[in-house]
Amino acid sequence: MQAKAAVNQKSGNTLNNAFASHFAKSMFLSVTALAILSFIGTRMFTHVDLNLYGYMVGTIVFIGGFFYRFIAWGERPPTKLILKKGLKLLLRKSTPKTSVEHLATYNFIWNRGIYRWTQHVLIGWGCILSCFVTFPLVFGWMYFTMDDNGHYNIIAMGMKVMTVPADGIIANLSYNALNITAVMVIAGVCMALYRRLKNMQARAEQKFLYDFMPLYMLLLVSITGLALTFMNIFLHGAGQPAMSLIHQWSVIITLIYLPFGKLAHIPFRPMSVLARNYREHYAEQGMKECKVCGDQFVSVEQSKDVVDVLCVNAIEFKAKEGHHLAEMCLPCRRKYRIAQFSGFPTHEVKVKEANQNAKG
């Protein structure tokens, strides 16, 4: 609390002082931004789709939960450090490439296995594309009008961006966008469920609420969404209102769950780009040399940051020799421990660490 007050004083920021907490401020700004965007997008609320009202409430509750979690998390010392330093380095030349590899193409998941990569691309992109279609519709940022001549107008932010034939490819793709993404998500979730039943690591660690619940929710959202289409086309709309409610309900529950369960990685993951920038930038600034063997094993900055973070947690590992344990490279740190056990200074013997990898 004191720290917060000090920050406010230092910056002398009246906007910050006007709010009881970061939470209140972020919440207020987002809801205002949403309202303004909707106001413009719907041409002063003349094109609001009231069927989508539930989503609007759901989104606002979601934003509340999201800020609550994100702010609590950002206050943790190590998180705060990476966020603060990482954001400053956001303009590095490598940022676009790292972002694409980490957030869009998931190269690192590919290296964990093609199955896991396929599964994640289907779920992840299925969801992202769905959101790109749904949210603009919900908040009126995008809607369609039909001319007499069988052409659709796609209106974004109140401006006509495209006119397409009602039976053309683009029109068909946009009517079916949510059906296609639903199929993607269903396929991906089935792959994930299958892996969760077979893979030993997954089986050991998984919990119903953390690991299965989000998968079932995604499944429910996609299946009820597809069912809506099915009812429209084959049942002439029979049962549609009920199904529509179930679908809305499942989306809202998923949104509210998102900040608290496994799906919280979606808003948090972009931090991996910050972490990569942080490591690359400070590695260029200067590398730390191991106090024992002199190998460069981490950036000076990160070594110092970790020592500080541990200090905040009241952990301090000082070696008898006076330096911090984090100032030794990993093999030396391990040998140093053997030396503490045996009484013989193993870490000082100039012999490279023996192979420690047993290939199974």
Contact residues toward ligand HEM (CB under 6 A) are 102-103, 109, 112, 116, 120, 123-124, 127-128, 192, 196, 211, 214-215, 218, 263, 265-266, 269
Rounded CA separation 99/74 (Å):
20
Rounded CA separation 278/184 (Å):
35
Going by C-alpha positions, the residue among 53, 81, 64, 75 that lies closest to residue 4 is 75
Q: Is 195 in the site for other proteins (CB under 8 A)?
A: no
The single residue among 88, 239, 317, 321 that binds other proteins, judged by CB under 8 A, is 317
DSSP string, 111-149: TT-HHHHHHHHHHHHHHHHHHHHHHHHHTTSEEEEE-TT
Going by C-alpha positions, the residue among 318, 208, 247 that lies closest to residue 58 is 247
Binding window for other proteins (CB under 8 A); candidates: 13-21, 169-177, 238-246, 329-337: 329-337
Rounded CA separation 130/124 (Å):
10
Touching other proteins, residues 262-291 (CB under 8 A): 262, 265, 268-269, 271-272, 275-276, 278-279
Q: Is 333 in the site for other proteins (CB under 8 A)?
A: yes
**Residue with smaller CB distance to ligand HEM, 192 or 328:** 192
**Residue with smaller CB distance to ligand HEM, 29 or 104:** 104
Smallest gap from Cβ 345 to other proteins, in A, equals 9
Chain-centroid distance of CA 286 in Å reads: 30
- From ligand HEM, other proteins, none, interface partner of 14 (C-beta below 5 to 8 A by class): none
- From ligand HEM, other proteins, none, interface partner of 127 (C-beta below 5 to 8 A by class): ligand HEM
- From ligand HEM, other proteins, none, interface partner of 231 (C-beta below 5 to 8 A by class): none
Q: In Å, how far are 98, 172, 209, 262 from 23, measured between CA atoms?
A: 30, 42, 26, 22
Smallest gap from Cβ 142 to ligand HEM, in A, equals 20
Looking at residue 117, its amino acid is W
Q: Is 341 in the site for other proteins (CB under 8 A)?
A: yes
Rounded CA separation 292/329 (Å):
8
Q: Is 204 in the site for other proteins (CB under 8 A)?
A: yes
Dihedral of alpha carbons 176, 181, 184, 190, sign: negative
Q: Is 103 in the site for other proteins (CB under 8 A)?
A: no
* Phi-psi group of 45: left, alpha or beta (phi > 0 → left; psi -120 to 50 → alpha; rest → beta): left
Q: Is 338 in the site for other proteins (CB under 8 A)?
A: yes
Q: What 3-state class would DSSP assign to 350?
A: coil
Both tokens of residue 90?
Answer: 């956001």
Smallest gap from Cβ 237 to ligand HEM, in A, equals 29
Looking at residue 123, its amino acid is I
- From other proteins, ligand HEM, none, interface partner of 204 (C-beta below 5 to 8 A by class): other proteins
**Residue with smaller CB distance to ligand HEM, 211 or 289:** 211
Q: In Å, how far are 84, 142, 174, 269 from 81, measured between CA atoms?
A: 5, 39, 43, 16
Smallest gap from Cβ 107 to other proteins, in A, equals 9
**Residue with smaller CB distance to ligand HEM, 218 or 329:** 218
Helix, strand and coil percent figures for the chain, each rounded to 5: 70, 10, 25
Q: What 3-state class would DSSP assign to 217?
A: helix
**Residue with smaller CB distance to other proteins, 76 or 151:** 76
- From other proteins, ligand HEM, none, interface partner of 123 (C-beta below 5 to 8 A by class): ligand HEM
- From other proteins, ligand HEM, none, interface partner of 151 (C-beta below 5 to 8 A by class): none
Question: Where along the sequence are the contacts to other proteins (CB under 8 A)?
Answer: 73, 76, 78-79, 81-83, 102, 108-109, 111-112, 199-205, 262, 265, 268-269, 271-272, 275-276, 278-279, 298, 302-303, 305-306, 309-310, 313, 315, 317, 325-326, 328-335, 337-338, 340-344, 346, 349, 351, 353-354, 356-360
